[in-house]
Amino acid sequence: MRTPRVYSPQNLTVGDCIQLEEGAARHLTSALRMTTGQSVIVFNGKGGEYNGELVAAKKGSATLRITEFKDIDRESPLSIHLAIGISRGERMDWIMQKATELGVTQITPLFTERCEVKLSGDRLHKKVRHWQQVAISACEQSQRNRVPQVNNPVALEQWQQACEASLKLVLYHRTEKSLGDICQPSGEIVLLIGPEGGLSEREIEQAILLGFLPTAIGPRVLRTETAPLAAISILQTRWGDMC
């Protein structure tokens, strides 16, 4: 069995013993049925990862002794901030998971004109925590040691006004300009994508006025859960660490 990887937000120091959080402990002891003496890799999102050994393990509870630090960096040299209209059902979970695996550094869910999801109060906070956990789980699986930040959902217009980046892109299937026509940026890339039904013409026009470059990724119209993954893959292939 491959050594399992778990996330813990705690400060990690070689030689220390830590009590793993409930979710990680339950996964190791109940799902994987691990026992004392077995090895675990733990990371806290601050870079690198730690080897550890279970010194106590019972159902729903696990104590790990940190034995070694490995300064392993699996992050892309490309910084991508994905801003996407909130979709219904499990589409957003899928986007959070796959965008994390592909190496994005930040994700901002957006309320747009065609967004059919209503979130506020406790429901909104619970959803953001859920999405952040989806990103953490994707890091555990994909062996990333830094967790992308999932921001609180915000209205598109508010977000656009404050958005600053070296390169700002908005996916728009009616433009003739493709990702292949764009020169490599010197800093962060922001990728703006709409929900089901896409961004409205007014929202596209507003984005262009605020410095976003309209760009297409091919002749076909892609679903909202497919478009960001295709675009991120192209960016990572051109300027990142995918080949």
Pick from 145, 139, 234: nearest CA to 189: 234
User: What's residue 63's pLDDT?
Assistant: 97
User: What's residue 160's pLDDT?
Assistant: 93
**Between 3.30.590.10, 3.40.50.10360, 3.40.1280.10, 2.60.40.10, what CATH number should domain 80-239 receive?**
3.40.1280.10
Global confidence as pTM: 0.93
Residues 6+ apart with CB under 8 A from 43: 5, 7, 8, 49, 50, 139, 145
Checking if the pLDDT of 1 tops 80, the result is: no
**Spelled out in words, what is the top-level CATH class assigned to the domain 5-70?**
mainly beta
User: Using CA atoms, how far apart are residues 150 and 127, in angstroms rounded to an integer?
Assistant: 11
Checking if the pLDDT of 121 tops 70, the result is: yes
For 44-69, b where at least 16 C-beta lie within 10 A, e where not — what string?
Answer: beeeebbbbbbeebeeeebbbbbeee
Residues 6+ apart with CB under 8 A from 58: 29
Q: What is the mean pLDDT of residues 116-123?
A: 84
Which pLDDT band holds residue 180 (cuts at 50, 70, 90)? confident
Which pLDDT band holds residue 89 (cuts at 50, 70, 90)? confident
Note whether 170 and 208 are within 8 A (CB). Answer: yes
Domain locations in the chain? 5-70, 80-239
